[in-house]
Amino acid sequence: MIPPVLPTYARTDVAFERGEGAYLYTAEGRRYLDFCAGVAVVSLGHAHPHLVEALTEQAKKLWHTSNLYRIAGQERLARRLVENSFADTVFFCNSGAEAMECAIKMARKYHAASGHSERYRIITFEGSFHGRTLATLAAAGNRKYLDGFGPEAPGFDHLPFATHDGVEAAITPETAAILIEPVMGEGGVQVVPPACLKGLREICDKHGLLLVLDEVQTGMGRTGRLFGHEWAGIAPDIMALAKGIAGGFPMGACLATERAAVGMTAGSHGSTFGGNPLAAAAGNAVLDVMLADGFFDNVRRTAGYLSQRVAAVTDKYDKVFTGVRGEGLLIGLKCKVPNTDIVAALFRRGLLTAPAGDNVVRFIPPLIIGTAEVDEAVGLLEAASEELSG
Ligand SMILES: *Cc1c(COP(=O)(O)O)cnc(C)c1O
């Protein structure tokens, strides 16, 4: 018999009652160290006092009015994202897939508004992930998620990861944009080298294409900078954000330059809930914390320590792991045994992690962790590795 909740997830048999910082607690009082963070969402940890206060205060005043009217908190959040990024303008929605839908539509509309509606195709990369809507599934081109859902949305050309010359060869008069994640998160924490991102920027400029970055996972501090592309010293034309943007409140955003957004006039796109007062309050509270002095220094310091200690374990247990990769607090452990066995062994010891493609285990903890949480997690990893190598 089908359960009341549509069974599209193979869920771990545990439910949490409350959280505090990097820890989750079940109703029975069992404690878990959360290096999954709601899949890279709860970036400031659970029940962060500043976020709780901001959301509670807003909840007493006003929840929702729609985008038919001005929303002060949304305007403030947009202004702050613009001030701290390449972008001139922001569209708010409720998820990563929606942010990507806006990015895809905007890239096509840019060319249509410039008199080139034939330029609608977008070059994407194998192993990427952009969401579960029909267009974002077609963009990523992963057969596992596409099969059985009818004809694929047209307009995407998939290239193998990291073939620079191949990208230029794939451009046709119909190409509108190149879309990539700075680190392919779901695809197994595959870091796109900064030189490649620079190269893609150059190719886009040379051929009049837009560079679209999916920073749904890498954005909002995850890599140790506000946005992942900052490591490469380049800027996109359009960028999708979600996951950590509102600390666990559902929110997505599509940021763009004025030039790229030229076609997005009144009536061209919309969202009932996007950027409502509650979401905007959470988003502003997240920025209050992240933009404070030293926040990213701290993330980078912790990330360096974590990846160094994890690398020592993966070196030692070379029957279980082949190595570590990633950027900031988006860390992937490439496994020799099934990654789900490792996730399960860590879970039994009280450490939550997330599997990813390419047989990888992801460590994506809240950005607020310190050396104590790292030491605890590494101890549990060591114990699980000992068990699995025996
Ligand atoms: C999670 C993710 C998405 C999809 O986000 P949803 O909020 O689940 O729609 C898109 N792109 C990337 C890179 C992601 O990591």
Domains of the chain in start order, with CATH, are: 16-34+294-389 (3.90.1150.10), 50-290 (3.40.640.10)
344-353 pLDDT, tens digit each: 999 999 999 9
Ligand 1, pocket-test mutation among 128, 186, 245, most atoms within 8 A of CB: 186
Give the model's pLDDT for residue 161: 76
pLDDT at 203 over 80: yes
Give the model's pLDDT for residue 163: 77
Closest ligand 1 atom to 184 CA: 13
Pairing mode, strands 89-93 and 252-256: antiparallel
The response to whether residue 285 sits with its C-beta less than 6 Å from ligand 1 reads no
pLDDT at 227 over 70: yes
Three-state SS string across 43-94, please?
CCCECCHHHHHHHHHHHHHCCCCCCCCCCHHHHHHHHHHHHCCCCCEEEEEC
pLDDT at 308 over 90: yes
Distance CA 362, CA 52 (A): 27
The response to whether residue 97 sits with its C-beta less than 6 Å from ligand 1 reads yes
Give the model's pLDDT for residue 86: 98
Give the model's pLDDT for residue 231: 98
Give the residue numbers annotated as catalytic, written as ranges: 129, 214, 243
Percent over 70 (pLDDT), the chain: 100
Give the model's pLDDT for residue 162: 62
Give the model's pLDDT for residue 390: 78
Distance CA 254, CA 240 (A): 5
Residue 194 CA, chain-centre distance (Å), reads 18
Residue 350 CA, chain-centre distance (Å), reads 24
pTM: 0.98
pLDDT at 19 over 70: yes
Which whole number is the average pLDDT over 330-351?
98
User: How many Å is the Cα radius of gyration of the chain?
Assistant: 21
pLDDT at 77 over 70: yes
How close is the Cα of 138 to the center of ligand 1, in Å?
14
Which whole number is the average pLDDT over 216-235?
98
- Secondary element (H or E) of residue 110: helix 96-113
Which whole number is the average pLDDT over 57-73?
98
The response to whether residue 156 sits with its C-beta less than 6 Å from ligand 1 reads no
Give the model's pLDDT for residue 337: 97
244-260 pLDDT, tens digit each: 999 999 999 999 999 99
Give the model's pLDDT for residue 313: 98
How close is the Cα of 271 to the center of ligand 1, in Å?
17
How close is the Cα of 357 to the center of ligand 1, in Å?
14
301-319 core/surface letters (b: 16 or more CB in 10 A; e: else): ebbebbbebbbebbeebee
Which whole number is the average pLDDT over 128-153?
97
